[in-house]
Amino acid sequence: MDRTPKIRTYSSWYSTLFFMSSMVHSCSNIGVSAMYHTYISRPLFVEVDQIYHLACPASPIFYKYNSVKTIKTNVIGTLNMLGLAKRLRARILFTSTSEVYGDPLEHPQKETYWGNVNPIGVRSCYDEGKRMAETLMFDYYRQYGIEIRIARIFNTYGQRMNIDDGRVGSNFIAQAIRNEPLTVQLPGTQTRSVCYVSDLVDGLNQLMEGTDAGPINLGNPGEFTMKELAKAVQELINPEVQISEVENTPDDPPQRKPDITKAKEVLGWEPKVNLHEGIPLMEDDFRQRLGVPRT
């Protein structure tokens, strides 16, 4: 008898295809297939043992494009996934975000920090949507005993990312390859801590298989300003490319850095790929898809 586990992943088109395709890739030796459930805000009738609820889009451009759908995905979509977990008694992992900390008054951010979030801003559909989804996860755990896992993901980059995703990593790398100016949004001193996607996928799998419900921060504590990130991409990919300063969008958090003490203690997880290793890996993938070989 074929005892190979068969895994199916479901995603709406309005979802985080980057994580889904990365997870499918990391499990390709155990028979994974991807399917699309077009309306995350409608119930999904499948038989599964574990649910990775990765929705909604994480790129600010995409989640702001249809903010009502973003919040529906976070609230109604999470209720549907929790209903599925309840019917099947399945374990469910939800990918929350560093954005639950908003404009953080604590640095670096620990899981015990409750955040400083604008409830009525243009990013609120995402920030507050993810916060509500975390609340739903814990209410289903307390009320129905559902086995939950919550990851708070800090900025992720890497292979298979949508080239036109709009986030800083994909923008800078595509711009450097195309020899277009790297667009540093003002003031450029805002910081992010970027984690390579293979590290993140390992962290998610370890969280799912572990015993702690979370929330657990998953991210790389290496912190850079956006000007420093642009310089690193310039140095590694295209020393001739220009760096330009452009307007920013409202409520951009000025700093973000995960405290990953809990991930280390509870999961034995920490990232392995640093920025200077990750950028060339992503560059290879982007060059192949853009059809621009190294010269």
**217 binds ligand UGA, rule: CB under 6 A:** no
Q: How far is the CB of 97 from ligand UGA (least distance, A)?
A: 4
Residues 232-271, mask of contacts with ligand UGA (x by CB under 6 A): ----------------x---x-------------------
**Part of the chain binding ligand UGA (CB under 6 A), chosen from 1-9, 94-102, 263-271, 282-290:** 94-102
What binding mask, one character per residue, do residues 193-212 give for ligand UGA by CB under 6 A, x or -?
--------------------
Candidates 126, 140, 141, 157; catalytic one: 126
Question: Toward ligand UGA, which CB reaches closer, 109 or 156?
Answer: 156
Can residue 99 be called a binding residue for ligand UGA (CB under 6 A)? yes
As a three-state string, the secondary structure of the chain is CCCCCCEEEEECCCCCHHHHHHHHHHCHHHCEEEEECCCCCCCCCCCCCEEEECCCCCCHHHHHHCHHHHHHHHHHHHHHHHHHHHHHCCEEEEEEEHHHHECCCCCCECCCCCCECCCCCCCHHHHHHHHHHHHHHHHHHHHHCCCEEEEEECCEECCCCCCCCCCHHHHHHHHHHHCCCEEEECCCCCEEECEEHHHHHHHHHHHHHCCCCCCEEECCCCEEEHHHHHHHHHHHHCCCCCEEEECCCCCCCCCCCECCHHHHHHHCCCCCCCHHHHHHHHHHHHHHHHCCCCC
Whether 126 sits among the annotated catalytic residues: the reply is yes
Q: Please tell me whether residue 70 binds ligand UGA under the rule CB under 6 A.
A: no
Total residues in contact with ligand UGA, by rule CB under 6 A? 20
What's the rounded Cα separation, in Å, for the pair 181 and 134? 39
Selected binder of ligand UGA within 37, 69, 167, 257 (CB under 6 A) = 167
How many angstroms separate the CA atoms of 165 and 61, rounded?
8
- Selected binder of ligand UGA within 60, 104, 108, 158 (CB under 6 A): 60
In the shown chain, the binding pattern of residues 176 to 195 toward ligand UGA, with x for contact by CB under 6 A and - for none, equals -------xxx----x-x---
The stretch near ligand UGA (CB under 6 A) out of 9-17, 164-172, 233-241, 263-271 is 164-172
Residue 173 interacts with ligand UGA (CB under 6 A): yes or no: no
Residue 58 binds ligand UGA (CB under 6 A): yes
| Residues at the contact surface with ligand UGA, assessed by CB under 6 A | 58, 60, 97-99, 126, 153, 155-156, 167-168, 171, 183-185, 190, 192, 226, 248, 252
